[in-house]
Amino acid sequence: MVGNTSLLKQDKWRIIDQSTTGLHVSALHSFGMDDTLCSSVGSGIVPATARTWVHDRTIVLGIQDTRLPHLKDALAFLKEQGYQYIVRNSGGLAVVLDKDVLNISLILPEQERGIDINSGYETMWELINYMFKEYGKTIEAKEIVGSYCPGSYDLSIDGKKFAGISQRRLRSGVAVQIYLCINGSGKQRAEIIKQFYAAGLQGETTKFAYPEIKPEVMASLAELLDVPLTVDQVMTKLLLALKDHAEFLFADQLQGEELPLFESYYNRVVDRNEKIMQAFR
């Protein structure tokens, strides 16, 4: 874990809460937002920012997912199940977003020596540990084989994954992003991705090794902690945790020069997504 030099400790934490408004816009909005914040936080015009976001029934695909041999069939399956889909501009593979999945982005300024990749991941791990310390459960950071979008900083309790962390770096800003499955069935979410890959591969062997999903290795926090838990309750835990790590905490929205920046980054994300996906329509 991060020691005395914890990146969670900031003079100011700025909060942008889009956990409700995000339900009404495409997830592309969120990737445009995080790029904007990387730029504005990285250039020092605003302080370190924590942004929360929720999007309903959306599958966020990675670039490798668009190379599935039967992608059209896989996308048709998602549509049949009532899911939208987008391709993100950061690494990783397919993940499930819905109204019970809270995403948190911590946007940090690169320091003089820079923030190494592990420090970014460990900052988020430290935050989640702090938020849920009252339950007395050990939250591990290690790859959970059989989960969707597996990585070395999958967060799990008792061997079951409830969260995944990714990073985006742009213009001296670092966005560390996590999805937290708050409640609902982690197994059912994993089943969707399992069937997506089954439709996309149809038994073919590919150069890239897509994950073999085992739905039983994924769960929500409500399932793992055996408590009722809502996105709003976790939002409160987040705000209290950040308050304990800052001299000053304040709610905000995009300001001044961030507004034209967002328009530019959002359009870029939309155009890029459109170019990638148009071949499969």
DSSP H/E element including 117: helix 117-131
The DSSP string of 218-240 is B--HHHHHTS---HHHHHHHHHH
3-class SS shares of the chain: helix, strand, coil, % to 5: 40, 25, 35
Backbone angles phi, psi at 106, to 5 degrees: -105, 115
At 49, the amino acid letter reads: T
69: three-class secondary structure by DSSP: coil
Q: What are phi and psi of 249, to 5 degrees?
A: -125, 130
Q: What are 94's two structure tokens? A: 């397919």
Q: Where are the beta strands (DSSP E) in 148-220?
A: 155-157, 160-170, 173-181
Instruction: Answer whether 168's CB lies under 8 Å from 184's CB.
Output: no
Distance CA 60, CA 86 (A): 5
The residues assigned a catalytic role are 149
The answer to whether the CB of 166 falls within 8 A of the CB of 91 is yes
Q: How far apart are the first and last CA of the chain?
A: 45
Distance (Å, rounded) from C-alpha 227 to C-alpha 219? Answer: 13
